């Protein structure tokens, strides 16, 4: 079975391992409720699925991390359901000449009834078109006064790609009503306020209560963070019939469902 492997005991040890919290954090911290490692399948690491922790993170129901050979096709495919939207964030500008693999996160979201009525959208967003503020690339939603340029077919969802240098700190306070917040690391590691740590190919899901998430990078670090209101609608899924497509990139693009967001965000140059 695909999915993540929770490490609740490990998470609890990290909270009591004697590592002092980050200095200067004055607001109440938003603590980790679940720390999980992804399941690797060849070049794909699956971090979230509907039949695993997707009930905790919905509307974020799939999250895959991939390292694949760069090719001529855009790195995205569409979930084969009319009530989902899929978007891929390329984390680097890999090319055949560079010899580097293409690193990417692919996210699949469950659409609300209002979003399902939105018109189908295809978007390809170049690196220079992604709004940035400090270390944050604003893929969806808003960070501070900076708002994503992507058309708002997905209401009230924040999704960021954050890059920090060794020792650099960053904080996030979710908007009111965003009771789902998570982050997933693809490079380096993060130390949070309570001595908790999140490393490469791990996802941290935070508790529903409000508070500040403050992180400090351990080495040069790259991660994505999502926050939203929890999807109130039950997930209907069959394990064998849901596929985000990263594991079959080489087979070409799937058919376009009735409603889907096609989005590729290129890596930073």
How is the chain split into domains, by residue range? 5-265
Q: What is the pLDDT of residue 22?
A: 54
pLDDT at residue 123, as a whole number: 60
Q: CB-based burial of residue 161 (10 Å sphere; 0-12 exposed, 13-18 middle, 19+ buried)?
A: buried
pLDDT of residue 189: 97
**Of 90, 60, 93, 265, the residue nearest 183 (C-alpha):** 60
For the chain, the straight-line distance linking the first and the last C-alpha, in angstroms and rounded, comes to 37
Residue 78 is predicted with a pLDDT of: 36
57-to-61, 117, 160, 229, 254 alpha-carbon distances in Å: 7, 22, 16, 9, 26
Provide the 3-class DSSP secondary structure of residue 1: coil
Predicted confidence at residue 120, as pLDDT, reads: 54
Tokens matching residue 232: 């109130």
Query: Per CATH, which fold does 5-265 belong to?
Result: Jelly Rolls (2.60.120)
Instruction: Please report, in tens digits, the pLDDT of each residue of the chain (269 residues total).
Output: 333 334 443 333 333 333 445 554 457 889 999 999 999 888 889 999 988 898 899 999 999 998 887 765 544 343 435 577 888 888 888 666 666 788 889 998 887 666 655 555 556 666 777 889 999 999 999 999 999 887 655 678 999 999 999 999 999 999 999 999 999 999 999 999 888 999 998 999 999 988 999 999 999 999 999 999 998 766 665 443 333 343 333 232 333 333 344 556 766 65
Question: Look-up: residue for tokens 């659409």?
Answer: 111
Contact (CB, 8 A) for 246 and 71: no
Other beta carbons within 10 angstroms of residue 136's beta carbon come to 19
Structure tokens at 255: 């058919």
């Amino acid at each position: 079975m695909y999915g993540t492997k929770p490490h609740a005991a490990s998470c609890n040890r990290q909270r009591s391992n004697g590592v002092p919290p980050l200095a200067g954090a004055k607001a109440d911290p938003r603590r980790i409720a679940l720390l999980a490692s992804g399941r690797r399948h060849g070049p794909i690491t699956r971090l979230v699925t509907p039949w695993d922790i997707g009930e905790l993170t919905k509307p974020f129901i799939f999250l895959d991390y991939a390292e694949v050979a760069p090719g001529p096709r855009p790195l995205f495919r569409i979930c084969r359901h009319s009530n989902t939207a899929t978007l891929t964030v390329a984390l680097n500008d890999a090319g055949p000449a560079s010899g580097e693999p293409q690193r990417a996160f692919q996210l699949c979201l469950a659409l609300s009834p209002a979003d399902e009525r939105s018109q189908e959208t295809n978007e390809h967003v170049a690196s220079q078109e992604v709004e940035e503020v400090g270390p944050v690339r604003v893929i969806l939603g808003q960070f501070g006064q900076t708002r994503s340029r992507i058309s708002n077919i997905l209401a009230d969802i924040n999704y960021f790609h954050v890059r920090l240098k060794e020792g650099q700190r960053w904080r996030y306070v979710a908007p009111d009503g965003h009771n789902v917040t998570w982050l997933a690391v693809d490079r380096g590691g993060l130390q949070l306020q309570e001595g908790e740590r999140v490393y490469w190919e791990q996802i941290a899901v935070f508790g529903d209560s409000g508070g500040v998430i403050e992180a400090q990078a351990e080495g040069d670090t790259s991660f994505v963070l999502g926050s939203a209101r929890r999807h109130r609608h039950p997930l209907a899924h069959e394990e064998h019939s849901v596929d985000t497509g990263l594991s079959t990139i080489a087979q070409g693009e799937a058919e376009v469902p009735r409603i889907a967001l096609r989005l590729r965000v290129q890596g930073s140059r």
